Amino acid sequence: MESILSSTHIGWVLLMYYISSPVLVIIGLIALYQIILAKRTLRVTSQRESACLAAQQCEKMAHEIVPINDNLIKQLVEQKIPYYQGPVDFNNANLKSNKVALVFISQCDKDLNKIITILKILNSLDAFSLYFMKGVADEEIAFTSVGSTFCSIVKIFSPFIALLNQDQHAYLNIQALYNIWSQRIEKMKLQDQLSSIRESIDKIVDEGPTPIGV
């Protein structure tokens, strides 16, 4: 009787083994699918949040930073103070040789309110840049909306960034985002010029006289 029971038990064990193997495989596949689905959902959610944050920062740029900047530029124009439009160089060591930048700094330095406003703009721009340089917000979305505006404002106040950049740590987020976006803008300009040149070349008729006998 014991041998019969043992055989029966072994049979049940083998049967359960063969049945459970495909079941385990199916369970494993379901679990794997759920993991993949969760990752996709997380990725989509992350992308959506990144896009939303980019949109929020663009609104902040348009409704907070730009009006303050425009008002300051208006004051400079009214007071006949030429705002800086020279090459952008954040290196403090090179500031001494940039006479145009030094003149702009000295003119603004005469008015404490202007200095306070400039620092407010730069602090806001650095906070704006932080979202994109840390990858929290989608910088490509923001670039299409405010890329040119951002670079224009940074260009104007770049002498002050250089002035404060004695330890090479002033407004690093602004510097990093400006370098990315300004190069992208330059590339786009060159691509447009290249397209225009190609169109002009295609319009040129380059046909010489047909040789005699041909």
Q: Tell me if 186 sits within 8 A of 141, measured CB to CB.
A: no
Domains of the chain: which residue ranges? 50-202
The pTM of the full predicted model, rounded to 2 decimals, is 0.74
Task: Profile the chain (214 residues) by mean pLDDT over runs of 10 residues.
Answer: 52 55 57 59 65 92 95 95 93 92 94 95 96 92 95 97 89 96 95 87 74 62
CA atoms of 9 and 19, how far apart (whole Å)? 15
What is the reported pLDDT for 178?
97
Q: Do the Cβ atoms of 172 and 132 come closer than 8 Å?
A: no
Alpha carbon distance 184, 145 (integer Å): 14
Question: What's the pLDDT score for residue 2?
Answer: 47
Question: For 153-164, b where at least 16 C-beta lie within 10 A, e where not — what string?
Answer: bbbbbbbbbbbe
**Is the sign of the CA dihedral 163, 164, 169, 173 positive or negative?**
negative
